[in-house]
Amino acid sequence: MIRIRWYAPLFVFYWMISLHANAQENSSAATLIRDIYSNWFNDRPFAYQECDTFFYSDKVDTAIMNKVKANFLSDKEFKEWDPDQAAYVKRKTRFTLEERRYIVAQLDLIKNMKWPAKMFPFAYMIPLEKVDPLLTKTDQSKLKPQQKICMEVHHFSSPIFLRNNTLCFFYLGKSTIFSKEGAFWIYEKIEGEWKRLASIYEWSVANTGKYNKEIDFFNIP
């Protein structure tokens, strides 16, 4: 579940870059994105309250979006996620040809989209190409372990809405000195809250030792 909070400046920003979308979509997009920041701020372990900066990249890796697009085009239906069972169920989500064309076009647009600096309070934007060098530098530095853990870079896409703002396609990822991961999910709005419906693409890779190998959850040998 993604929590609903209010952050007016972000709403204004998203309205400026999405003049083609309706007001309802703008509000939902702002809610989804600002909740990434709110969740980070409220869920920090007490011992690491010195993590006072929210790091995020200016865009999502094009290679990841290409994999998302390939998965979406190759699958005609997607197994739905049941949070109560914590498992996929037999129900499946399907899309019309018109809907699929629209989603593909929007995925292509995301590849060229960049987030600005200062989107949130106490936040710092890092160009995507500088994320890995910065994490390596942090890992090799003499900073305290707690400070190294604070170097957590978030990646997120512009939300894509469908079916009168009841479905949303959204990518969330994270890079740390230990690992990288990301997931592109379809969310469904239920009683005013966005909840996971189905997964299109998920991935994870460890940064060190024997785990330095990408794990593609959709193509496990």
Report the chain's mean pLDDT, rounded to a whole number.
80
- Indicate whether 36 belongs to any domain: no
Query: pTM here?
Result: 0.79
Q: How confident is the model at residue 216 (pLDDT cuts 50, 70, 90)?
A: very low
- Indicate whether 211 belongs to any domain: yes
Q: How confident is the model at residue 217 (pLDDT cuts 50, 70, 90)?
A: very low
Per-residue tokens: 55? 């790091």
pLDDT tops 50 at residue 114: yes
CA distance 166 to 162: 6
- Indicate whether 20 belongs to any domain: no
pLDDT tops 90 at residue 32: no
- Indicate whether 26 belongs to any domain: no
- Indicate whether 212 belongs to any domain: yes
- Indicate whether 209 belongs to any domain: yes
- Indicate whether 43 belongs to any domain: no
Q: How confident is the model at residue 213 (pLDDT cuts 50, 70, 90)?
A: very low
Question: Which structural domain, as residue segments, surrounds residue 107?
Answer: 53-216
Q: Which residue has the tokens 């007490």?
A: 46
* Domains identified in the chain, total number: 1
- Indicate whether 72 belongs to any domain: yes
